[in-house]
Amino acid sequence: MTIGLYHYIALAVILFAIGFLGVLLRKNTLVIYMCLELMLVAATLALVAFSRYNGAIEGNVFVFFILTVAAAEVAVGLAIVVALFRKRGTVDVAKLNALKN
Amino acid sequence: MSETIFYIFAFIVAASALGVVANHNAVASALSFFVCLCGISVLFAMLDAYLLAFLLILVYAGAVVALFLFIIMLLDMHGGDRPPFGKMTIVSGVIAGTLLVLGVVTFLARGQFSTDALALARQAPSLFTDLKFYGVKLFTSYMLPVQLVGFLLLTGMLGVIVISKKQDEEGKKAEGLKD
């Protein structure tokens, strides 16, 4: 059986679910951030696969933009994490409960 | 042959993604993320998106993972040691993940993909391995998004500068109060 679109989509969905699981399970802000990036990469994999199997380049061009936005997002997000660490001395989301109640 | 390569790299990607979630050490998570990105870039190359494979290595594996490792070092948490997951957390997380997968699977199962057409399209060699197509698309149809993304990068850069600078000023004020 040759590798079809479904194989790539299945892998992208599994990757996305693993990233989602990580966001739900982990307490470390940095690892949560990595899992968010994992979900973004899963979406790009689905886009590239759709693009290849439809014979259109649009999906690949979208991946370009996703990569750029992800780079900007990582820069800002990590700056926020560092600012948070300076202010509160921890990056554990279980301890960052100032807004609770 | 290409099936074997796909399955090997799909396994590597999924296993290292699980490694990102399950590792006790944040540095190990970042390195698993790196392995995962390398696997995905191989899959991109198998989909004839050579430029994107290269860019993924360059931007993600080169810049983003390095930035993560740098921040882990900067925060000086020695990678951290995660507490074991609670039972309820695991159960609810797995249920949520399964629901997500099931949702997409039903969506795909009900979709109207013509598998024959897809197979035919795959047989044809990709037209878009040439860089020229990306350039033409980016500078004709997608000119406005390119400019917007440039503006977004500028905004992001200013935001990062403002966030770090504000902290410095507050630090100085705090020191001044101490004096």
Structure tokens at B27: 């540095």
B47 chain-A contacts, CB cut-off 8 A: 8, 48-49, 51-52
Cα separation values, B120 from A24, A68, B29, B125, Å? 40, 32, 40, 10
| Residues forming a β-bridge with A28 | A92
> In angstroms, rounded to a whole number, what is the distance separating the alpha carbons of residues A90 and A22?
19
Q: Touching check for B177 and chain A: CB below 8 Å?
A: no
Touching B: A residues 43-82, CB under 8 Å: 44-45, 48-49, 51-55, 57-58, 60-61, 63-65, 67-76, 78-82
CATH number for the region A5-88 comes to 1.10.287.3510
Which residues, in sequence order, are CB contacts of A65 under 8 Å at separation 6+? B142, B145, B149
pLDDT digits (tens, 9 = 90+) for B102-116: 888 888 778 766 665
Instruction: Show Cβ contacts of residue B146 under 8 Å, excluding neighbours closer than 6 positions.
Output: B138, B139
Q: Digits of tens for pLDDT over chain B (179 positions)?
A: 788 999 999 999 999 999 998 888 888 999 999 999 999 999 999 888 888 999 999 988 888 999 999 988 888 776 566 677 778 888 888 888 888 888 888 887 787 666 655 665 566 666 667 788 888 888 998 999 999 999 999 999 999 999 888 655 555 655 555 54
Extents of the domains making up chain A? 5-88
Q: Where are chain B's structural domains?
A: 2-129, 131-179
Q: Does B69 touch chain A (CB under 8 A)?
A: no
The complex scores an ipTM of 0.91
Picking from A58, A36, A59, the residue whose alpha carbon sits closest to that of residue A49 is: A59
3-class DSSP assignment, residue B179: coil
Which B residues in the span 141-160 are in contact with A, Cβ-Cβ below 8 Å?
142, 145, 149, 152-153, 155-157, 159-160
Give the residue from chain A lying closest to B146, CA to CA: A65
Task: Provide the β-strand partners of residue B27.
Answer: none
Residue A49 neighbours by CB distance under 10 Å: 25
Mark yes or no for CB contact B118/A11 under 8 Å.
Answer: no
Classify domain B2-129 by CATH architecture: Up-down Bundle (1.20)
